[in-house]
Chain A
Amino acid sequence: MEKDFEPNIIGFLCNWCSYAGADLAGTSRIQYPPNLKVIRVMCSGRINPIFVINALQQGADGVLIGGCHPGDCHYERGNYLARRRYAILRELLEYIGIDPGRVRMTWVSASEGKKFAEVVKEVTDEIRELGPIQHFKRENTW
């Protein structure tokens, strides 16, 4: 593994909680690794597993899904549904040979700027250990 491999991690953050939490981490000037590229979605329940798979296929080394704490979803139940989908997706990816550590989920509320930074650091460190994604990258052989 190259010493200076920096993972590319895509973060799908829900607008009301985890995106606001990330914002708070920023305004509070809390340092966290720059590897996370954020895509804001209205709710973690919006996330179709194809988003995650497509991200991995296009070269993301990992994906982080951020949602509201169970019971606090702005739309009442989106995060509960996302929780179910995430459990199935991880098992399926592991079954075909993709390390399940590449797809992570986290509950971060709008006031948890510090937690957000810690989560990003933890996930980045873990994915850095796993190395660059090697399987099923989009080929574009032309």
Chain B
Amino acid sequence: MVNEKQLKTEAKKLVARDDVKYVIGYEKGTYGFQVTPCFAFTPEDTERFIFSPLCVHNLAVYFMLEEKPPLRKGEKEDTRKIGVVVKGCDARAVVQILQEKGLKRENIVIIGVPCTGIIDPKKINAKFPHQVKTVDVKEEGNNFVFNINGKTHNIPKEELLFEKCKQCEYPTPVISDILLGEPIKGSKKEEYKEIKTLEKKALQEKWKFWSKEFERCIRCYACRNACPLCYCKECIVDQLSPQWIQRSVNLSENTVWNIIRAYHLAGRCSGCGECERACPMNIPLTKLNKKIEKDIKELFEYIAGLNPEEKPLLAMFKPNDTEETIL
């Protein structure tokens, strides 16, 4: 993994710059295996920065959460930049937002971290539940190493890695102003195994599977808020005239909400998995988003979040796009 000292040095230099407002990184959490986002406004704040296999958050979401209160009379707009620490998947989300002109490149500074895989919090909490003291996890070869109550644990990475990390094709951030360490070549390939299994099921079975998942949805919209690409000023669920999705919580409305959110992410989802992590009801949202990701790769040869100059998927067309099933 990345050299933490180097991270702190670079972050310190960045925050000290006159044209940077603050830098967002990771710091130790409050219990167990938790890590939490850290906002460094002064060089001293960057002493708290860490980077470990527990740094699961996609910090790109904070770009779009930046609040700009109305300016007072005579007050000039604060045009300073925001710095952020990103891993491979996070950088793709940033690139996608740049592609859609949601952000200007000159307003952000990106510290890229070539990522060797992140631990799935669900997996590690299932293996080592009830951890009160914060635990530091380090990477050693093909294992994750950490110490709990004086005992050292050496767990093979395969057992704790996020499923998305096992198939990651872009471990090195595709965009960065500062890259911490040598770029890692993407050696894995996305197979879409789970998607293909689900695709093979009969229509009725598919509905049975999804209706069971959508029944559990409580429409808290944590998925929407955790997603760096869900930044509509007025979300479709909040529109009242016309009201597309009723606020009643039942299978029908839940289904529409989940499908329409997945659809709105078509060609935009970077596969970071934050939606699924934030969902308190364990709904397998990545199964939905990855299905669309697979389709657009096959139908339109498009991959989200690689080139900020590229045109977004649904804003362009090719003359020979598929016309299958069109009468």
Contacts and interface: CB of A to CB of B under 8 A. Distances in A.
Instruction: Please say whether the chains A and B touch (CB closer than 8 A).
Output: yes
Interface of A: 49-50, 53-54, 57, 70, 77, 80-81, 83-100, 104-107, 119, 122-123, 135-139, 141
Interface string B290-327: 01100110011000000000000111010101111111
A50 B206 CA distance: 21
A125 B203 CA distance: 20
A105 B326 CA distance: 5
Contacts of A93: 259
B259 A104 contact: no
B246 A138 contact: yes
Interface residues of B, number: 45
Contacts of B236: 50
Contacts of A77: 317
Given A83-B317, A96-B207, A91 B323 contact: no
A92 B292 contact: yes
27 contacts: A50-B244, A50-B256, A53-B256, A53-B259, A53-B260, A57-B252, A57-B256, A77-B317, A83-B317, A83-B322, A83-B326, A84-B321, A87-B299, A87-B322, A88-B295, A91-B295, A92-B288, A93-B259, A94-B203, A96-B206, A97-B210, A98-B203, A99-B203, A105-B325, A136-B211, A136-B251, A137-B252
Contact of B263 (A81, A89, A105): A89
Given A83-B323, A95-B199, A139-B250, 8 more contacts: A80-B321, A81-B315, A89-B263, A92-B291, A97-B205, A97-B206, A99-B203, A106-B326
Interface of B: 198-199, 203-211, 236, 244, 246, 248, 250-253, 255-256, 259-260, 262-263, 266, 288, 291-292, 295-296, 299-300, 313-315, 317, 319, 321-327
Contact of A88 (B203, B256, B292): B292
